Chain A
Amino acid sequence: MLTVRNLSVRFGDVLALEDFSFDVGPGQVVGIVGSNGAGKTTTLSAISGLVARHEGSVTFDGEAIDRLTAHAIVERGLIHVPEGRRLFPFMTVQENLELGAYPRAARAKREQQLDFVFSLLPKLKERRGQQAVTLSGGEQQMCAIGRGLMSCPRLLLLDEPTLGLAPLLVEEVFALVRSIRETGVPVLIVEQQVVHALQSADHAYVLESGACVMRGEGHALLANDALRRAYLGV
């Protein structure tokens, strides 16, 4: 469904990502793990069109989307939920969610999708009239994912959804990821929470200094000694 081949991104003289290839198939959860600065966010930004210049190819549903602008990529159902939530701070929860339905295709299904998001995330329904800036970190993250779901995604990119959240909330986020997958929407998730991510992922890739150093099934990687030493300290 998403095919990335030989993706490289350069910021000035710095090679932020080098020759990265991976796939996301229908119904899959794919994880990209690695420490800070490994190139995870860069990867997502290149796919969603926020970083315009890159080498290699990105194909979504058989269409090359390399040269499309960010909003054109959104129109095709590839939805990027950014790191750090990045809600519209001075809008209400409901307004944030409704803006998720900005793409033409999603607008028609706005009410229906809103009910769906509220059923999945009942907390947001309680907070619908509240300004986003007043929400707690966990609520903000739920709202950000909810906004992504409002766009009727055909593939959801989640960038560090658990960043700065308490352990209990981390569990909640991954439970949500699993329920999203159950609705048939594949998820590409970028995480520093290596254990959780690998547990949930069908396939996973480990990035280090812009290069992919390991790949495999989530559970298999979790059992890998080298990975355990590097990321789990055991």
Chain B
Amino acid sequence: MDIYVQLALSGLFVGGIYALISVGLTLVFGVLRVVNFAHGEYLTLAMFLTFFLFHQLGLDPFVASLIVVPILFVLGLITERLLIRRTLEAPHVVQVFVTFALSLFLQNLFLVLFTSDFRTVRTDYATAAFEIGPFYISWLRLIAFAASIALTVALALFLKHSYMGAAIRATAQDRRSARLVGIDVDRIYALTFAIGCALVGAAAVLLAPLYPVNPYTGADLILVAFVAVVLGGMGSIAGATLAGLLIGVIESFSSYFLGGEMKQFVYFIVFMAILSLRPVGFFGRKGAEVMDVT
């Protein structure tokens, strides 16, 4: 019995970070209708930033978050302004090319700037853990999980209860009507893209002490986020969160009971099974991807 609980805990902890990465991606898709293939590279960038702040200035990753998250927010604003905005009216295939090209460009930029070495943020508390009964719980992983969930909940509350949040949801549901109630839709796009980047920045800060970074780290992790976004229902934050946690738990159990090389196989099986029963994902809406062509 103990082993099940321990596996579920490990899975949930990792799943929390998957959820945080996925939430930014699904939010950007839901509002801008753009799949940002470079989302993973923003994660990599933020992890490198955290690493260099730690290494050069001795800043603890949690302190560094006060710098990294705002920087990612501003980078999001700039990217939206210079690149994404120009593609919003373009066919989907153009958007895919643009964000995919951005992803490759950033990967290669990181290679030139940082080489392909793995960089590790080594804090004193990296492996601190405590025991509850028969369970071992890593402080860092617990904190990463709690912070991920807290940020996701905060985002949901912001969207639900603030004027700005309502404007973001309105833009997602109907761009044209949003304009007609006086929402500056261009500003909402910029803000949403920036929030997506800031969230992935927060995920990076939480990941950095746990996991080494090199130019491909984000690209490796983002696959899970794409699965979570589709599984949860494109554009659904609750869905992405749930799917992120679920994937974490599935990975954990399948690597224990079936072997580590099986875990991707298992969650893709689950992914296909769920989508064949419910093609729009957990909280997706039928036709949501074409809901508001203007």
Contact A98 B183 (CB under 8 A): no
Q: Name the residue among B163, B180, B183 with the largest chain A CB count within 10 angstroms.
A: B180
**Does B217 reach chain A (CB closer than 8 Å)?**
no
Contact A71 B182 (CB under 8 A): yes
Distance from B156 Cβ to chain A, minimum over Cβ atoms (Å): 14
Question: A100 contacts which chain B residues (CB < 8 A)?
Answer: 181
Output the nearest chain A residue to B285 by Cβ-Cβ distance: A90
Output the nearest chain B residue to A81 by Cβ-Cβ distance: B180
Q: Mark A71-105, 1 if CB is under 8 A from B, else 0.
A: 10011000111100011111100010011101100
Contact A88 B182 (CB under 8 A): no
**Does B184 reach chain A (CB closer than 8 Å)?**
yes
Indicate which residue in B166, B178, B182 contacts A98 across the interface (CB closer than 8 Å).
Answer: B166
**Does B122 reach chain A (CB closer than 8 Å)?**
no
Contact B183 A71 (CB under 8 A): yes
Contact B179 A71 (CB under 8 A): yes
Distance from A33 Cβ to chain B, minimum over Cβ atoms (Å): 22
**A91, B165: Cα distance in complex, Å:** 12
Q: Mark B116-129, 1 if CB is under 8 A from A, else 0.
A: 00000000000000
Counting chain A residues whose Cβ lies within 8 A of the other chain, the interface size class is 20 to 34
**Does B14 reach chain A (CB closer than 8 Å)?**
no
Indicate which residue in B167, B178, B182 contacts A75 across the interface (CB closer than 8 Å).
Answer: B182
**A19, B246: Cα distance in complex, Å:** 60
Indicate which residue in A48, A89, A98 contacts B180 across the interface (CB closer than 8 Å).
Answer: A48
Q: Mark A28-55, 1 if CB is under 8 A from B, else 0.
A: 0000000000000000000011100000
**Does A151 reach chain B (CB closer than 8 Å)?**
yes
Name the segment of B59-67, B169-177, B269-277 touching the other chain. B169-177
**Does A215 reach chain B (CB closer than 8 Å)?**
no
Contact A88 B177 (CB under 8 A): yes
**Does A70 reach chain B (CB closer than 8 Å)?**
yes
Q: Name the residue among B163, B169, B179 with the largest chain A CB count within 10 angstroms.
A: B179
Q: Name the residue among A48, A81, A90 with the largest chain B CB count within 10 angstroms.
A: A90
Contact B184 A71 (CB under 8 A): yes
Contact B177 A86 (CB under 8 A): yes
Distance from B215 Cβ to chain A, minimum over Cβ atoms (Å): 39
Given known pairs A50-B176, A86-B174, the reply for A151 and B169 (CB within 8 Å) is no
Contact A74 B182 (CB under 8 A): yes
**Does A69 reach chain B (CB closer than 8 Å)?**
yes
Contact A50 B170 (CB under 8 A): no
Distance from A83 Cβ to chain B, minimum over Cβ atoms (Å): 10
Contact A82 B182 (CB under 8 A): no
**Does A154 reach chain B (CB closer than 8 Å)?**
no
Given known pairs A86-B176, A86-B177, the reply for A103 and B182 (CB within 8 Å) is yes
Q: Mark B262-294, 1 if CB is under 8 A from A, else 0.
A: 000000000000000000000001000001000
**A11, B186: Cα distance in complex, Å:** 22
Contact A91 B170 (CB under 8 A): yes
**A153, B109: Cα distance in complex, Å:** 52
Given known pairs A98-B166, A99-B166, A99-B167, the reply for A89 and B181 (CB within 8 Å) is no
Contact B184 A69 (CB under 8 A): yes
Question: A69 contacts which chain B residues (CB < 8 A)?
Answer: 184
Contact B176 A82 (CB under 8 A): yes
Question: A89 contacts which chain B residues (CB < 8 A)?
Answer: 173-174, 291
Contact B174 A88 (CB under 8 A): yes
Contact B174 A70 (CB under 8 A): no
**Does A147 reach chain B (CB closer than 8 Å)?**
yes
Contact A74 B180 (CB under 8 A): yes
**Does A107 reach chain B (CB closer than 8 Å)?**
yes
28 contacts between A and B (CB under 8 A): A49-B179, A50-B180, A69-B184, A70-B179, A70-B182, A71-B179, A74-B182, A82-B177, A86-B176, A86-B177, A86-B180, A87-B174, A87-B177, A88-B178, A89-B291, A90-B169, A90-B285, A91-B166, A91-B169, A91-B170, A95-B166, A98-B166, A99-B183, A102-B163, A102-B181, A102-B182, A103-B181, A151-B182
Residues of A within 8 A of B (CB): 48-50, 69-71, 74-75, 79-82, 86-91, 95, 98-100, 102-103, 107, 147, 151
Residues of B within 8 A of A (CB): 163, 166-167, 169-170, 173-174, 176-185, 285, 291
